[in-house]
Amino acid sequence: MMCGACVSRVKSVLSADERVESAVVNMLTETAAVKLKPEALLEGEMSGSIAESLAKRLSECGFEAKERVSGSGVAENVKKWKDMAKKKEALIVKSRNRVLFAWTLVALCCGSHASHILHSLGIHVGHGSFLEVLHSSYVKGGLALAALLGPGRDLLVDGLMAFKKGSPNMNSLVGFGSVAAFIISAISLLNPELEWDASFFEEPVMLLGFVLLGRSLEEKARIRASSDMNELLSLMSTQSRLVISSSDSNNLMETVLCSDAICTDVPTDDVRVGDTVLVLPGETIPVDGRVLAGRSVVDESMLTGESLPVFKEEGLKVSAGTINWDGPLRIEALSTGSNSTISRIIRMVEDAQGNEAPIQRLADSIAGPFVYSVMTISAVTFAFWYFIGSHVFPDVLLNDIAGPDGDPLLLSLKLSVDVLVVSCPCALGLATPTAILVGTSLGAKQGLLIRGGDVLERLASINYVALDKTGTLTEGKPTVSAVASISYKESEILQMAAAVEKTALHPIARAIVNKAESLKLTIPVTRGQLTEPGFGTLAEVDGSLVAVGSLDWKGMSSSSYSKTVVYVGREGEGIIGAIAISDGLRHDAESTVIRLQQNGIKTVLLSGDREEAVATIANRVGIGSEYINASLTPRQKSKAISSLQAAGHRVAMVGDGINDAPSLALADVGIAIQNEAQENAASDVASIVLLGNRLSQVVDALDLSRATMAKVYQNLSWAIAYNVFAIPIAAGSTASPLRFCHDSFALRWTDGFEFDICCHQLIASTAP
């Protein structure tokens, strides 16, 4: 599928089947979700055979399709999205080449008027034979033919096919205007005895140049906006270390890597429920499962939003896509491949993206009737002036457009073609997308990556904003917030703790080491380091054993519930100090919530973190307790979004992690914060990405969307008014404007001026 017209035709083909109740087509994921009528299944026909027949019908209509296999595996998902990325790259190259070709022809076409422009400016200089050649009707005809068969070919074929299938689109309008103008000029050129003007050869070149430029800009924005989910898929480990055999089945730490265990790397899709896999420190867990042996801490932030790692030991469950930090784990697979947690999240994201937007572009919805109306007006115009008008108003034959002999046929043909030309998409089809594209460009300058015009439409009507906690209201980066000791300096406590934790990978250890390095402290060399996952780390520092960890395996929270405390102990002295680790509140979190509330937008906090931590953050930013939801899984977050939507609210979700991906995709508008410190999986599935990593940009995006949509409706109203005004004039309804409207050069550039006016009006109203 290349454009919105393709989506419309695919949907119409599917909906035409008597077994189909409804169909939703998504261009970004290149999928179609079909809901079958109950009676179709009651008749005994399998859904698989129906899907196969629908895919065959689409292929016959020019859209190669195949049934999507339920529960696609990891490798298949990765391959599918890589193939889509290649197609998008090829489409960008093809679109750029078309525009370059089209505007080369436009430049040559404009060159034919250079001598007239120079003379009109009082500049009488020799302009050489080249411009004389360009002024030749045969050369203009060649340029027009090149435009129609070259860069405009796909556009014209698409418009013709859409018209034949009874669903004309904007390409149909371009095709009728361009081809009709070419035919009129060709007839006049090949029949010089008619003494007709062949200047309409320039019309196809001009129209196609402007239309293809607009389409190229729109395609580029759409491709950038498409969700390839590469980062999301990067969490799916395609390879697993399968444990073949082991003589010892006990769960002691020493037996996790027992000498007689035989392991082999296999595709994750080949792992079955009940198989055992081995995951080493720093690796991604490939399957959902239960720990059989080993102890470690696991980073589950991409699933739960919890910034602190979670302790795992025998009997506890782990999820695919999470990262094992400290020790090796032997895991029994409970669900694999397409049934794993991360695979279900991907399907939820794809399904949510397949939901049809509630607000459709007005221009597309009226394109079909508009084409038929214009064709009817064109035919009526021809009939009126040829059979009636030229007799009732004989003076009109004295106009230049009727030729030197005042030919009624030439007059009628030109007026009927003018109706088609004036009603081209430069007036109706480009007014709305041009304004939206300028709006998205302005957003990009403000650090807002807006994925398409429909996003701006939905964002402008938002009345609820759901916020994640970790990484959204907070920084999402654990840091040392305080160091306490009675007998040692703070720097000494940090030096010893950093020495012990220097080789550890989990976020708390990195926070301690980073703090020591930022203070330029000398970190001592350690000996005999031992890590006890979930408890802490022990090492010899300057001849004494130093331990860094929690008082028990659960850790200890400070009274504010927003900090985690780790303790430093020394051999012979006991606990000598404590270090508080916290995830700091964003500097603009409170002001952003206040600005949203001042704009009449309610805020709700959805988090996978513990209730105490969520309540503390909500209180600091000014979110009421009735709008707090804590300890939520990704599925529960999605249900919370659905509940708000079911109550009639328009919801925007703001998040930063993969655990937010389903709710980001399900919300009317998903807004992802691009965290500078790490790759952000949420940005690949969100409607808007905040590239500046500032929460205040949420309000900036809302303001921009409202200003842009106000200009969109203004431009669309202006474009419709233009057609209402210009079509009657083009049809010859008045005598005075008739002379201007049918001046070939002025008419040819009318739509181009509209394009510029739309852009400049939007820039003036939304520029920062």
**Triad 662, 664, 665: Cα angle to 5°:** 65
**Active-site hit among 326, 364, 418, 468:** 468
Look up tokens 């009528």; give the residue: 37
Q: How many residues does the chain have?
A: 768
CA quadruple 447, 584, 229, 7: dihedral positive or negative? negative
pLDDT at 741: 44
Please give the pLDDT value at position 366: 60
Structure tokens at 407: 């030919």
- In this prediction, what percent of the chain has a pLDDT beyond 90? 21
> Which residue's structure tokens are 């090149």?
146
The CA-CA-CA angle for residues 162, 166, 171, to 5°, reads 30
Letter for the amino acid at 109?
Answer: C
Task: Assign 686 to helix, strand or coil.
Answer: coil
* pLDDT at residue 228 is higher than 70: no
441-445, 617-621, 633-637, 671-675: which range is least confident on average? 441-445
Alpha-carbon span 158 to 155, nearest angstrom: 5
**Opening angle at CA 614, ends 613 and 618, nearest 5:** 120
Note whether 317 and 285 are within 8 A (CB): no
Cβ-contact 170, 151 below 8 angstroms:
no
Element (H, E) at 578: strand 574-582
Instruction: Check residue 359 and give its pLDDT.
Output: 38
Which residue from 67, 53, 49 is spatially nearest to 16, judged by alpha carbons? 53
pLDDT interval class at 588 (50, 70, 90): very high
Q: What integer pLDDT is reported at residue 347 of this predicted model?
A: 65
Question: Is the pLDDT at 519 greater than 80, yes or no?
Answer: yes
- Per-residue pLDDT, 282: 86
How would residue 522 be classed by pLDDT, with cut points 50, 70 and 90? very high
Neighbour tally for 195: CB within 10 Å? 12
DSSP track, 230-298: HHHHHTS-SEEEEEEE-S-----GGGTT-TT-EEEEEEGGG--TT-EEEE-TTPBP-SEEEEEE--EEE
pLDDT computed for residue 116 by the predictor:
62
Residue 568, phi then psi, degrees to nearest 5: -115, 125
Q: Under DSSP, is residue 66 helix (H, G, I), strand (E, B) or coil?
A: coil
**pLDDT for position 466:** 96
Mean per-residue pLDDT of the chain: 77
How much is the pLDDT for 631?
A: 82
- Has residue 632 got a pLDDT over 60? yes
Q: Of the segments 335-349, 635-649, 741-755, which one has the largest average pLDDT value?
A: 635-649
Query: Which of 179-183, 191-195, 325-329, 737-741 is predicted least confidently?
Result: 737-741
For residue 652, which phi and psi values (nearest 5 degrees)? Answer: -110, 135
Count the neighbouring beta carbons within 10 Å of the beta carbon of residue 280.
13
Q: Tell me if residue 203 falls in helix, strand or coil.
A: helix
Neighbours of 237 (CB within 10 A): 21
Q: Measuring CA to CA, how many Å separate 332 from each of 51, 280, 318?
A: 36, 14, 10
pLDDT at 765 over 70: no
CA distances from 87 to 29, 65, 94, 152 (A): 12, 15, 11, 21
Residue 181 has pLDDT above 70, yes or no: yes
Say yes or no to pLDDT of 421 above 50. Answer: yes
Euclidean distance between CA atoms 463 and 668, whole angstroms: 11
Give 512's pLDDT tier (boundaries 50, 70, 90).
Answer: very high
How many H-runs (helices) and E-runs (strands) does the chain carry? Answer: 28, 25
Which residues make beta-bridge pairs with 688? 450, 671
Please give the residue that has the higher pLDDT: either 745 or 641.
641
Predicted confidence (pLDDT) per residue in 548-572, tens digit? 987 653 344 443 445 678 899 999 8
Beta-strand pair 276-279/329-335: antiparallel
Is residue 411 within 8 A of residue 401, CB to CB? The reply is yes
- Could you read off the pLDDT of 362-386 as tens digits, one per residue? 555 565 577 778 888 989 999 998 8
Give the per-residue pLDDT at 740. Answer: 41
Q: Apex CA 202: angle with CA 196 and CA 204, to 5°?
A: 110
At 684 the pLDDT is: 64
Q: Is the pLDDT confidence value at 415 over 50?
A: yes
Determine the pLDDT at residue 332.
93
> pLDDT > 70: what percent of the chain?
70
The pLDDT, as a whole number, for residue 759 is 40
| Mean pLDDT (whole number) for 114-127 | 59
**pLDDT recorded at residue 303:** 63
- Tell which residue, 544, 496, 504, 548, has the closest CA to residue 523: 496
Reply yes or no on whether 468 is catalytic.
Answer: yes
> Are residues 496 and 541 in contact, defined by beta-carbon separation less than 8 angstroms?
yes
The whole-angstrom separation of Cα 699 and Cα 704 is 9
Residue 467: predicted pLDDT = 95
Please tell me the predicted confidence (pLDDT) of residue 46.
60
**pLDDT tens, position by position, 254-266:** 455 555 567 888 8
The pLDDT-based confidence of 465 (bands split at 50, 70, 90) is very high
Secondary structure E strands in 260-402: 262-267, 276-279, 288-293, 296-299, 310-312, 317-318, 323-324, 329-335
Residue 389 has pLDDT above 50, yes or no: yes
pLDDT in tens, 343-355: 766 665 555 444 4
pTM: 0.56
Position 211 scores a pLDDT of: 79
Lowest mean pLDDT segment, chosen from 155-164, 357-366, 703-712: 357-366
pLDDT over 50 at 763, yes or no: no
- Higher-confidence residue: 320 or 554? 320
R_g of the chain, CA atoms, integer Å: 34
Q: Which string of b and e fits 160-185 if b means at least 16 CB within 10 Å?
A: bbbbeeebbbbbbbbbbbbbbbbebb
What's residue 306's pLDDT?
59
Spatial contact of 536 and 550, defined as CB atoms under 8 Å apart: yes
pLDDT in tens, 466-498: 999 878 898 877 889 899 998 899 999 999 999
Q: How far apart are CA 614 and CA 607, in angstroms?
A: 7
Q: Which of 327-341, 362-376, 506-520 has the highest mean pLDDT?
A: 506-520
- Checking if the pLDDT of 647 tops 80, the result is yes
pLDDT single digits (tens) 1-41: 555 556 667 877 888 888 888 887 766 556 787 888 877 76
Report for 102-111, 218-227, 442-451, 697-706: range of highest mean pLDDT: 697-706
- Dihedral-angle region of residue 557 (phi above 0 means left; psi in -120 to 50 means alpha; beta otherwise): beta
